[in-house]
Amino acid sequence: MIANELKKRALELLADGTVARVLGWQPGELEHDWSPALFENAKDMEGFVYGKYAGANLSKYCLKLNKAEGKTLVMLKPCDTFSFNQLLHEHRLNRENFYIIGVGCKGMEDQNGLLLKCTCCKGKTHEIYDEIIDDEEARQPMPEADRFEQVSKLEQMSHEERFEFWRNELSRCIRCNACRNVCPACTCVKCVFDNPNSGIASKANVTDFEENMFHIIRAYHVAGRCTDCGECSRVCPQNIPLHLLNRKFIKDMNELYGDYQAGVGEEERTPMTSYTLGDVEPGIVHERGNE
């Protein structure tokens, strides 16, 4: 178990002053209800845990900690490093404010078993780190699954079926905004949906249109920046498969503008902030997929 190793290393880094605080996980009241937490000294660190219930992506919290004094030690699982790296590309984080330990992951769970996002694992490679702490077991590849399977299935449906499918899903939305608030790509200081002057701020979905619009715009605004971390679907209290909207954008961009994975490697232009002279015309949409 690498939890002890992580704790030991974090204590060393705290002790020698390399970092001022540690961003990790703490256990809850039940077996599975772990929460992200900040640890500032050795006494705090007694409550540190790592294991199969550490599903939350900690990159989002780094936005707040970017302004904190001193370095923050942040523990990132391989898929979380994509989000962190993407935030670096967008200049939302300063690399020098963080010390990153890439932690090994063998798939995360909640009380219902393996998380949905882990069924389409992005692999075991950390995109960015100062050091890696993992073990043999955490390097075992996850079984491969086609992450676009459900998107393709929906594309094959007729328009009426698709409309029915999404009405059924989106009509459950209670506009709690958990999907937006958890998203590491959603970094607007003031969201348009929170701005009373925008004319579209609504705290409830009064009509079908508002349900549709919120979810289209949410997914659209992170298109090209979404690393497919799957947190949106994990946190939805109404079990709406929101990741399908994001994956639809990813699939389209891969097919029309070449394969792209946000959060990988060095800073570069995303499909939505670049173009080529020979791009397809928007009319192509009407020729693809099922009528």
Partner 1 sequence: MSVNEKTWKPKVVAFCCNWCSYAGADLAGSGRLAYPAEIKIIRVPCSCRVNPMFILRAFERGADGVIICGCHPGDCHYTSGNYYARRRMTMLFSMLDFLGIERGRTRVEWVSAAEGQKFANTMNEFAKTITELGENRKLGDLRCK
Partner 2 sequence: MMRKFAAAKVEDIIKSIPMPVYAPIEENGLVQYDRYEEGAKLNLDTCKTEKSPKDVLFPQWEDMMHFRVEGKNISLTEQERCSQDYVLFGARACDLKAFEVLDRVFLVDPVDTYYAARRAHGITVAIACGQPEDTCFCGVFGIDPANPTADVVLWKAGEEYYAEAQTKRGEELMANWETEEANAADVEPVKAEITKKLAEKPFANLSLKGLDGDHMMEMFGSDKWKKLSMACLGCGSCTFVCPTCQCYDIRDYDSGKDIQRYRCWDSCMYSDFTLMAHGTNRPTQVERYRQRFMHKLCYYPANNEGLYSCVGCGRCVRKCPMNLNIVKVIKALGEENK
Residues that bind partner 1 (CB under 8 A): 154-155, 159-166, 192, 200, 206-210, 212-213, 216-217, 219-220, 223, 245, 248-249, 252-253, 256-257, 271-273, 275-277, 279-286, 288-289, 291
- Binding-site size for partner 2 (CB under 8 A) equals 38
CB of 271 to partner 1, least distance (A): 7
Which of partner 1, partner 2, none binds 280 (CB below 5-8 Å, type-dependent)?
A: partner 1
Q: Which residues make Cβ contacts (< 8 Å) with residue 164, sequence separation at least 6? A: none
Asked if 172 is part of the footprint of partner 2 (rule: CB under 8 A), the reply reads yes
Please report how close the Cβ of residue 123 comes to partner 2 at its closest, in angstroms: 25
Residue 145 sits at φ, ψ, to 5 deg, of -130, 150
Which is closer to partner 1, CB of 132 or CB of 157?
157
Environment class of residue 212 by beta-carbon count within 10 Å: exposed (0-12), middle (13-18) or buried (19+)? middle
SS3 149: helix
Q: For residue 63, is it left (φ>0), alpha (ψ between -120 and 50) or beta?
A: alpha
Annotate each residue in 203-222 with x if it binds partner 2 (CB under 8 A) or - if it does not, as one string: xxxx----------------
List 174, 216, 280, 285, residue binding partner 2 (CB under 8 A): 174
Q: How many CB atoms lie within 10 A of CB 72?
A: 22
55, 75 contact by CB (below 8 A)? no
Which of partner 1, partner 2, none binds 214 (CB below 5-8 Å, type-dependent)? none
Q: Using CA atoms, how far apart are residues 256 and 282, in angstroms rounded to an integer?
A: 11
Distances (CA, A) of 232 to 72, 120, 182: 25, 15, 7
Q: Summarize as ranges the residues that interact with partner 2 (CB under 8 A).
A: 28-30, 33-38, 56, 60-61, 168-169, 172, 174-178, 180-182, 190, 194-196, 201-206, 234-235, 237-239
